[in-house]
Structure 1
Amino acid sequence: MNIKVVRGNPTPEELAAALAVVRARAAAAAAAPSGAETPRDAWSDPARIAGRHLPQPGQASWSRTYWPG
């Protein structure tokens, strides 16, 4: 694994901390079973926003195609 600092001047401690994070993420990804889906967080689930009823096609359907805030 090669890491190249493109911008800035990190201290050896900062570089070691960043490398530890990258290695931990790589180890976690390697330990995960292949083909297994990671569970989605509830906040990122589109069904939470869209609800159960999608807009039906029609003359004024464009006005019902917004994402409520």
Structure 2
Amino acid sequence: MSGHLRIVRGDATSEEIAALVAVLAARRTAPEAPAAPPARTWRNPARQMRKPLSPGKSAWRTSALP
């Protein structure tokens, strides 16, 4: 058996060695890319628009607010 894997103690079957190699190969995946930063909403022109008016108690007060 040549390569980087060597059985030191015991007698492993070819299926056990294949399972070990599969687990080690799965752990060696590339790291995930960092998440995209959140969108900056302070410069969004829709932020300056006022919210839709809803009828109800104190609706006249909120009609003057942006």
Please say whether Structure 1 and Structure 2 have the same fold, judged by a TM-score greater than 0.5. Answer: no
Larger radius of gyration: 2
Interval of TM-score (by shorter of Structure 1 and Structure 2): 0.3 to 0.5
Instruction: State TM-score, norm by structure 2.
Output: 0.42
